[in-house]
C-alpha cells in the first residue's frame, strides 16, 4: 500500500496518534465518532495500519467521571510499561473535561489487561493544573527526563485555552509546577474562541 498524503489515511478517526514500539512495529489510536471508548491498531508498517484489525481496549463509564467525551488518546511507553493518556468528561457535567491515564498490565497492549490509574495528578505544590477544562496531553523525553504538555482553559466567560508544560515525576503525576508554553496571540487562534490545543512534539 502506498500512502497518499493528500487523502484520508484512516477515515472517521480524529486526533490520531501513532507510536513506534521497540520491536519496530507501530500502534495507532484515535478518537472515535461515538467518543465512548479507546481503540488500538497494530501493524508492521505505518501503511498497514489502515487495514489493521481494530480493538477497543477500554470503554467509558456509565456515569460519573470518564463517562462522556472520550478524546485524543495517546499511548506511550514509560518505565517499562505502556500507558494510555486521554481526556474525558462527566455525563452530569459534560464539559468537565480532565486528563486520565490507563496502564497496561502486561507487555502486549492488544491482549493484556488495561487498568485505570485515575486522573493525571498535578505536582504537590501546584494549585492550578487540571482544575479546569484540560485536554490533548502529549509526552516527550529529553535528556532522560519526561515532560507533559497539555491544553487548559483559564479566565472567565468563554475562557482562553493555553498550552502548559511540566516535568513528570511518575507516569501518572507531574513533578513540577506548570509553566505557560503558549497562549493564543494570533488572529487565526482567536476565531470564535481563543484556543491553543493539540500540542505535538518535533524532536
d(CA 181, CA 151) in angstroms, rounded, equals 10
Q: Is the pLDDT of residue 143 over 90?
A: yes
- Residues with active-site annotation: 15, 197
Interacting residues of 33 by C-beta distance below 8 A, sequence separation 6+: 12
Cα 189-190-196 angle, rounded to 5 deg: 40
Q: Which residues pair with 103 in a beta bridge?
A: 83, 115
Specify the pLDDT at position 43.
98
Say whether pTM exceeds 0.85. Answer: yes
Number of CB atoms found within 10 A of residue 32's CB: 19
Cβ-proximal residues to 20 (8 Å cutoff; 6+ apart), any chain: 26
* pLDDT classification of 3: cutoffs 50, 70, 90: low
Mean of per-residue pLDDT scores for the chain: 96
Amino acid at each position: 500500500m502506498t500512502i497518499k498524503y493528500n487523502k484520508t489515511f484512516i477515515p472517521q478517526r480524529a486526533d490520531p496518534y501513532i507510536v513506534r514500539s521497540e520491536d519496530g512495529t507501530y500502534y495507532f489510536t484515535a478518537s472515535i465518532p461515538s467518543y465512548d471508548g479507546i481503540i488500538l491498531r497494530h501493524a508492521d508498517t505505518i501503511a498497514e495500519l489502515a487495514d489493521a484489525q481494530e480493538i477497543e481496549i477500554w470503554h467509558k463509564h456509565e456515569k460519573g467521571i470518564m463517562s462522556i467525551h472520550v478524546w485524543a488518546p495517546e499511548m506511550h511507553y514509560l518505565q517499562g510499561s505502556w500507558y494510555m493518556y486521554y481526556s474525558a468528561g462527566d455525563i452530569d457535567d459534560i464539559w468537565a473535561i480532565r486528563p486520565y491515564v490507563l496502564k497496561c498490565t502486561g507487555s502486549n497492549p492488544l491482549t493484556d489487561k488495561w487498568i485505570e490509574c485515575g486522573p493525571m495528578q498535578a505536582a504537590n505544590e501546584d494549585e492550578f493544573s487540571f482544575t479546569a477544562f484540560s485536554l490533548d496531553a502529549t509526552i516527550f523525553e529529553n535528556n532522560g527526563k519526561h515532560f507533559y504538555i497539555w491544553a487548559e482553559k483559564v479566565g472567565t466567560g468563554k475562557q482562553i485555552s493555553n498550552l502548559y508544560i511540566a516535568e513528570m515525576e511518575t507516569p501518572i503525576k507531574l513533578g513540577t509546577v506548570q509553566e505557560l508554553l503558549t497562549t493564543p496571540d494570533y488572529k487565526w487562534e482567536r476565531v470564535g474562541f481563543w484556543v491553543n490545543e493539540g500540542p505535538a512534539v518535533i524532536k
